[in-house]
Structure 1
Amino acid sequence: MSDRKFIITVAALGAAMLATALGAPTATAGVSQMTVKPNLSVGSATNYGTGCTHQLLARLSVGIIPVAFYDNGELLAVVAPTDGVAMYNWVPSYTGAHTMTAVQDGIASSANVSVGRGFRFGESCVVTGG
């Protein structure tokens, strides 16, 4: 092998090894959207009530890393996602302002809700105040 071919071969192998070491770009995990669904709760000022079940829904950029749900900074649960979505049924225990946050791999998204007093009627809830 000539010196020129040897240098080209070594350069090509070096470039291939560097590309393998760096790999393809990876997707960053994180919550792309956080939603608080009122479910079957209704009220005049807010649809979120104490004692009522509401669904926290986090849409994710990576669907395999667990998601932590928080209420005003207090950990509620860590949930394994399914099909790029993590869900948690939340029952507020006190009235007032709540910042609901979902965090995946350090990336967070939040939603603010006002919670009134809930009165359950079967699966539905009537909310006063808020």
Structure 2
Amino acid sequence: MTGTIIRNRTTTPALRTRRLRYLTGALGLSGLAAVTVCAAPAQATATRVGAEPGISFGMASNFGTSCSYTINGYVDDPTTPVVFYDNGIPFAWSAPSGWLAQVPWTPATPGRHRIQAVQHSQPGPDVFPYVDVHVGMGLNSGSGCLVIN
């Protein structure tokens, strides 16, 4: 009789075949469960949005025209693209890297700006988190921004 030693036991070819069948069945069921979980409709939602002022400074605001800033959109679905809006007008979209989508933003006009990040979900309502940013006149110095008013 031939066999293989596994954990200090001798097994026969018939026992190895039976174990292989059980293992194949278990892997097949776990693969089916994974497909079922992945096929379930996900509700993608942007949960938070933020603006990083970088090296900008001013008396009334740290955000100025003609200067670039990073907008962060935090999401709960790492695969669905995120659309970013400035006062209701889309200005960029990004595929998230993990739970964060980032885009550059250069405000063109001074005043109040409402920045929103939206990750469209299907089905269900979309959530529109936002951040209100006051933008002043900016003097871009190359590495930073001096914001006036």
TM-score, L = length of structure 2: 0.68
Deviations 1:17-71 (A, max 9, x none): xxx8xx6676521111100111111111000000111111011111110000000
2:64 corresponds, among 44, 49, 61, to 49
1:73 aligns with 2:93: no
1:112 corresponds, among 132, 140, 143, to 132
What residue number does 1:14 align with?
none
Structure-to-structure mapping, 1:84-123, within 5 angstroms: 84-105=99-120, 106-123=126-143
Greater Rg, structure 1 or structure 2?
2
Structure 1: which amino acid aligns with 2:75? L
TM-score, L = length of structure 1: 0.78
Higher strand share: 1
Sequence identity of aligned pairs in percent?
32
User: What is the RMSD of the two structures over their aligned residues, measured on CA atoms?
Assistant: 1.6
Give the Cα–Cα distance (whole angstroms) in 2 for the partners of residues 52 and 77 of structure 1. Answer: 16
What residue number does 1:125 align with?
145
Structure 1, unpaired ranges of 5+? 1-19
What residue number does 1:28 align with?
43
What residue number does 2:97 align with?
82
Give the Cα–Cα distance (whole angstroms) in 1 for the partners of residues 93 and 50 of structure 2. Answer: 16
Give the Cα–Cα distance (whole angstroms) in 1 for the partners of residues 137 and 79 of structure 2. Answer: 36
Structure 2: which amino acid aligns with 1:38? P
**Where has structure 1 moved over 6 Å in runs of 4 or more?**
none
Provide the aligned length of Structure 1 versus Structure 2. Answer: 108
Structure 2, unpaired ranges of 5+? 1-32, 121-125
